[in-house]
């Protein structure tokens, strides 16, 4: 039963009663596993451009950037850094006063290498009247960690990753936000203009805005560009209802509990952006300038692949809409959809001429993305697959392990033996050939959500995540995969990842 207080909460969040009912139904029915044909590979759907092709795609992208097109770099940046410091929180709460685990020993042995070392040292002097070295010599290691994580020090335990100092430079040390400023100037500039968009949490928006205000002019002078920086927050209307063990709405002090819907909610933020081409990359996947060459080159390459495919798709759509096409031209379009966009339909040979053209137009006239894929090195997470869609077609998809039936030996083997991994390296085309925006929520597969088990104040609950941004939220897009060097994938999952050579 929905009370008046419940209805008021739903209205405040912008969630309809029908949407909540659908979510409650999903907890009962669960989400189906996707039917997978094969893991994508170099032999099955992943392009590996030769040197001559790389040069061609670079030229295509450079030419596109001169054409007055609207380009934007979209960076999900709302994630808290608390998970980066999980081991240090455990050390702070533990009985041992000195480092005992390999992780702790590595952290303290190399502490001077962190880009935040100087600021941390100043915090220790301010709060403990002793430097980091003096505190460590006295066996007071916990004071050092406290100053790093607590609000009385650097507050890194509560800040988002985007605001932490990641990399050392001669003149100043950079946060991931600043590294994305640099990347934007190097591969996403429209003449002298660079558009950046960060999705942030409401609690940290002011801090992001302050950082941009402080640093924007520095990078404008460095690269001779003008930055247009915008922010958005995950919409409350994308929150999902939580339930108890019996799938009844979870209530806290009588009030319905809603939770953020995961990164899939950002499809709404992406939909609000008016750009022709949008790059998407996670906030923590950045490297110092000395290692940016591969990243910049292959961002341009996948963008060149996208533009090349987009231009051909637009050409075919204009031809179809003109009504003046030959049988040979239709055959050419079929070849393009199947061989270049990797979308196959076993029933295509049985379609009448009119139905065939309608089918081809539908497959051409939708958002398009080209995704970089790296060779699998055992990282957890999603990968590229050839999967069946609800209309019976087979196309390229990025899938997570939760979407695959691991009780099916064949499907499990496909996932575990996959040759490539998804580093979240996308470039997207979100307008049709007339320059009109696609409504991106129309291309989400709602059956690709995920249910997880959580707790709230000691009570068990079940939560639901929306279809992931680069998974089910982009299910009905044209998708193409391109192999990119492993050097372009350098995420920071723990603070000690910053000690790797790729971040020094």
SS3 for 286-324 is: CCCHHHHHHHHHHHHHHHHHHHHHHHHHHHHHHHHHHCC
Domain count, the chain: 2
pLDDT at 243: 96
* 480 in any annotated domain: yes
3-state helix vs strand vs coil in the chain, percent to 5: 45, 20, 35
> 482 φ, ψ to 5°?
-130, 130
Please indicate, yes or no, whether residues 74 and 54 belong to a single structural domain of this protein.
Answer: yes
Please indicate, yes or no, whether residues 347 and 433 belong to a single structural domain of this protein.
Answer: yes
* 499 in any annotated domain: no
Please indicate, yes or no, whether residues 61 and 143 belong to a single structural domain of this protein.
Answer: no
**Model pTM?**
0.95
Other Cβ atoms less than 10 A from the Cβ of 253: the count is: 5
Q: Spell out the residues 6+ positions from residue 377 whose beta carbon is closer than 8 angstroms to its own.
A: 421, 486
Please indicate, yes or no, whether residues 354 and 417 belong to a single structural domain of this protein.
Answer: yes
Instruction: Give the end of a domain, one of 159, 177, 209.
Output: 159
* 460 in any annotated domain: yes
> 368 φ, ψ to 5°?
-130, 145
The sign of the dihedral angle between the CA atoms of 384, 387, 389, 394 is positive
Please indicate, yes or no, whether residues 114 and 219 belong to a single structural domain of this protein.
Answer: no
Contact of 444 with 467, CB cutoff 8 Å: yes
Please indicate, yes or no, whether residues 214 and 260 belong to a single structural domain of this protein.
Answer: yes
* pLDDT tens digit at each of 504 positions of the chain: 789 999 999 999 999 999 999 999 999 999 999 999 999 999 999 999 999 999 999 999 999 999 888 999 999 999 889 999 999 999 999 999 999 999 999 999 999 999 999 999 999 999 999 999 999 999 999 999 999 999 999 999 999 999 999 999 998 899 999 999 999 999 999 999 999 999 999 999 999 999 999 999 999 999 999 999 999 999 999 999 999 999 999 999 999 999 999 999 999 999 999 999 999 999 999 999 999 999 999 999 999 999 999 999 999 999 999 999 999 999 999 999 999 999 999 889 888 989 999 999 999 999 999 999 999 887 666 899 999 998 999 999 999 888 999 999 999 888 888 899 999 999 999 999 999 999 999 999 999 999 999 988 889 999 999 999 999 999 999 999 999 999 999 999 999 999 999 999
> 485 φ, ψ to 5°?
-65, 145
pLDDT at 381: 66
Residue 435 tokens read as 């320059």
- Burial track 41-69 (b if 16+ CB lie within 10 A, e otherwise): beebbbbebeeeeeebbbebbeebbeeee
Please indicate, yes or no, whether residues 350 and 465 belong to a single structural domain of this protein.
Answer: yes
Contact of 237 with 13, CB cutoff 8 Å: yes
* 258 in any annotated domain: yes
Contact of 371 with 380, CB cutoff 8 Å: no
Please indicate, yes or no, whether residues 300 and 368 belong to a single structural domain of this protein.
Answer: yes
List the Cα angle 367/369/370 in 5-degree steps.
160
146 alpha-carbon distance from chain centroid: 31
CATH number at residue 399: 3.90.550
* 494 in any annotated domain: no
H or E stretch covering 59: helix 51-65
CA-nearest of 479, 263, 500 to 373 is 479
Cα-based distances in Å from 151 to 118, 127, 142, 154, 411: 17, 12, 15, 6, 47
Please indicate, yes or no, whether residues 45 and 93 belong to a single structural domain of this protein.
Answer: no
- Beta strand 71-76 with 277-281 is parallel
* 10 in any annotated domain: no
Please indicate, yes or no, whether residues 49 and 174 belong to a single structural domain of this protein.
Answer: yes
Please indicate, yes or no, whether residues 223 and 272 belong to a single structural domain of this protein.
Answer: yes
CA-nearest of 319, 323, 362, 325 to 341 is 362
For 21, the 3-state DSSP assignment is helix
> 228 φ, ψ to 5°?
-115, 105
* 1 in any annotated domain: no
C-alpha to C-alpha distance for 361 and 321, rounded to whole angstroms: 9
pLDDT at 380: 61
Instruction: Give the end of a domain, one of 159, 186, 215.
Output: 159
Instruction: Give the end of a domain, one of 159, 179, 202.
Output: 159
Please indicate, yes or no, whether residues 45 and 32 belong to a single structural domain of this protein.
Answer: yes
* 180 in any annotated domain: yes
pLDDT at 492: 96
List the Cα angle 481/482/488 in 5-degree steps.
120
C-alpha to C-alpha distance for 2 and 17, rounded to whole angstroms: 9
Domain that holds residue 232: 15-78+164-488
The sign of the dihedral angle between the CA atoms of 493, 496, 501, 504 is positive
């Amino acid at each position: 039963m929905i009370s008046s207080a419940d209805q008021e909460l739903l209205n405040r969040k912008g969630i309809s009663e029908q949407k909540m009912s659908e979510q409650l139904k999903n907890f009962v029915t669960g989400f189906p596993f996707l039917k997978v044909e094969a893991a994508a590979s170099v032999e099955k759907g992943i392009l590996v451009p030769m040197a001559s092709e790389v040069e061609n795609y670079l030229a295509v992208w450079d030419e596109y950037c001169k054409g007055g097109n609207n380009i934007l770099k979209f960076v999900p940046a709302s994630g808290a850094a608390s998970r980066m410091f999980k081991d240090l929180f455990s050390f702070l709460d533990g009985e041992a006063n000195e480092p005992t685990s390999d992780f702790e020993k590595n952290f303290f042995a190399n502490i001077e290498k962190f880009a935040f070392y100087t600021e941390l040292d100043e915090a220790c002097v301010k709060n403990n009247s002793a430097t980091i070295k003096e505190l460590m010599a006295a066996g007071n290691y916990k004071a050092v960690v406290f100053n790093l994580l607590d609000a009385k020090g650097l507050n890194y335990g509560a800040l988002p990753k985007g605001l932490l100092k990641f990399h050392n430079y001669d003149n100043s040390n950079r946060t991931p936000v600043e590294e994305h400023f640099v990347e934007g100037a190097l591969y996403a500039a429209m003449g002298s203009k660079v558009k950046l968009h960060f999705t942030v949490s409401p609690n940290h928006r002011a801090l992001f805005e302050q950082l941009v205000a402080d640093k924007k002019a520095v990078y404008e002078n460095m690269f001779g560009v003008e930055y247009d920086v915008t922010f958005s927050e995950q919409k409350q209307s994308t929150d999902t209802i939580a339930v108890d063990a019996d799938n009844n709405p979870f209530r806290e002090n009588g009030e319905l509990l809603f939770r953020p819907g995961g990164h899939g909610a950002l499809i709404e933020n992406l939909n609000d952006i008016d750009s022709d081409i949008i790059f998407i990359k996670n906030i923590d996947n950045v490297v110092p300038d000395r290692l940016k060459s591969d990243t910049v080159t292959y961002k341009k390459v996948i963008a060149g692949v996208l533009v090349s495919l987009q231009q051909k798709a637009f050409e075919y759509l204009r031809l179809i809409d003109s009504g003046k096409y030959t049988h040979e031209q239709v055959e050419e379009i079929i070849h393009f959809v199947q061989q270049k966009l990797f979308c196959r339909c076993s029933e295509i040979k049985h379609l009448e001429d009119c139905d065939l053209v309608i089918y081809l137009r539908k497959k051409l006239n939708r958002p398009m993305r080209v995704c970089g894929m790296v060779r699998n090195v055992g990282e957890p997470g999603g990968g590229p697959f050839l999967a069946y869609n609800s209309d019976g077609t087979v196309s390229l998809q990025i899938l997570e392990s939760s979407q695959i039936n691991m009780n099916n030996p064949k499907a499990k083997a496909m996932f575990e033996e996959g040759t490539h991994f998804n580093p979240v390296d996308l470039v997207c085309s979100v307008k049709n050939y007339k320059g009109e925006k696609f409504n991106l929520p129309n291309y989400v597969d709602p059956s690709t959500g995920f249910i997880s088990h959580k707790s709230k104040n000691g009570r068990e609950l079940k939560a639901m995540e929306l279809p992931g941004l680069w998974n089910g939220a982009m299910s009905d897009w044209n998708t193409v995969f391109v192999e990119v060097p492993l050097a372009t994938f350098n995420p920071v999952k723990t603070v000690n990842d910053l000690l790797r050579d790729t971040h020094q």
